[in-house]
Amino acid sequence: MATLSAENHVMAQSVPARWWHVQEERLVCDLCPRSCSLKDGDAGFCFVRENKGGQMVLNTYGRSTGFCIDPVEKKPLFHFYPGTSVFSFGTAGCNLGCKFCQAWEITKSREVLSRLSQQATPEMIAETAVQMGCRSVAFTYNDPVIWAEYAIDTAVACRQRGLKTIAVTAGYICPDPRHEFFEVMDATNVDLKGFTEDFYQHYTLSHLAPVLDTLMWLKQESSTWVEITTLLIPDANDSPCNIRRMCQWILRELGDEVPVHFTAFHPDYWMMHTPATPRRTLVSAREIALEVGLKYVYVGNVLDSPRQSTYCPNCNQRLIERTGYEIGEYALLDHRCPSCGCDIAGSFAQKPGHWGTRQLPIDMKSLQSQQELQNQV
Ligand code: SF4
């Protein structure tokens, strides 16, 4: 099977894809548990991997829906170099079918393929991120699992320049590619969308077990820093009983130090008639998680400083004050509580970054033109 190298695919659109096999004149994709079986000319559920004349191709390598410098808190990652900036980008498509998708214009609309106007090689992305002073590069906005070849090549280029790498994903990936994908990721936020198979099947057109398997594998087999996000949707996945079961599972299988973010849904895509998540649901989910024994639990998509700040799990001193994405008072000494010396899980620099809440779109086309002009002078 063909492998990719960034040099070979500058500005490419369709490139040979990896992780597939032939079965009865069809190509079966082995990248995610959906196992799409494609005859010539077919595209998979994610619509970015296609059978073209008996070869599997990825049609979004080197193409993006946009680049933006975000605060790391937006991913969300609260225990990974707080306050720093992250060069972030995504492509198109998704391997899940969430009815509540909050980014459906890029994940579900195939028209987006004609609007992938921003182009960049892995080297260009790494170079630009360094020039812009970013601490990390994030593969986000749509699930990077479906464009794993591009994400992996970019992650390698970023690490060579001393950047950290971040994957924001639903964790719906098969064991073989999983190893290669997360091997080059320093941190990940895994979207655990609910805690019943019914919810996963009905609302996301996928299955719960592979996601739990990825989370356990990350904990046991990889050195990637993991945080979990669950979007709480009224009357869909917000029952206190399920939230408790989920937290008990996290405690038992992943330990008490995995940060968990409960975030608020707003009406979108096929769920325009479902109301936004009330604040009390987030508050009560957080209380359940703390009661169960998880140490770091946050609420998101609302402003709630007391429930977005980090506290010492031993003496309860506030260590990192946050309001939304903004870092306030920062009391951590390296990675320890200054009062009792308790070690706080995660990756922390001596001082927080100062990126604040800015979200700065980056136009790679005009940056590249400027660079060419400078080179000519
Ligand atoms: S990655 Fe795409 S093509 Fe491959 S199995 Fe998943 S949805 Fe299907």
CA of 144 to the centre of ligand 1 (A): 12
CA of 34 to the centre of ligand 1 (A): 6
pLDDT number for residue 270? 84
pLDDT number for residue 115? 67
CATH 3.20.20.70 in the chain is located at: 63-354
CA distance 46 to 49: 7
Candidates 31, 39, 94, 107: which one to mutate for ligand 1, based on the most atoms within 8 Å of Cβ?
A: 31
pLDDT number for residue 11? 52
Q: In which residue ranges of the chain is pLDDT below 50?
A: 1-10
- Starting at the edge strand that comes first in sequence, how are the strands of the sheet with 15-16 ordered? 15-16, 55-58, 49-52
Closest ligand 1 atom to residue 33 Cα is 5
State residue 196 phi and psi, 5-degree precision. -130, 150
CA of 25 to the centre of ligand 1 (A): 17
Tell me the whole-structure pTM to 2 decimals.
Answer: 0.94
Closest ligand 1 atom to residue 32 Cα is 6
CA of 37 to the centre of ligand 1 (A): 9
Cα torsion angle, 17, 35, 269, 285, sign: negative
Candidates 20, 48, 146: which one to mutate for ligand 1, based on the most atoms within 8 Å of Cβ?
A: 146
Candidates 29, 35, 94: which one to mutate for ligand 1, based on the most atoms within 8 Å of Cβ?
A: 29
CA distance 290 to 22: 48
pLDDT number for residue 9? 42
CA of 49 to the centre of ligand 1 (A): 7
Atom 2 of ligand 1: nearest residue by CA position: 46
pLDDT number for residue 2? 34
**Tokens for 24?**
């009865």
Calculate the CA 359 to chain-centre distance: 17
Calculate the CA 227 to chain-centre distance: 10
One-letter-per-residue 3-state SS of 308-361: HCEECCCCCCEEEEEECCEEEEECCECCECCCCCCECCCECCCCCCCCCCCCEE
CA of 44 to the centre of ligand 1 (A): 5
Q: Which fold has domain 63-354?
A: TIM Barrel (3.20.20)
CA distance 260 to 59: 34
pLDDT number for residue 3? 37
Atom 3 of ligand 1: nearest residue by CA position: 44
CA distance 293 to 250: 10
Closest ligand 1 atom to residue 38 Cα is 3
- Report the pocket of ligand 1 as residue ranges, CB < 6 Å: 29, 31-32, 34-36, 44-46, 49, 95, 146
CA of 33 to the centre of ligand 1 (A): 8
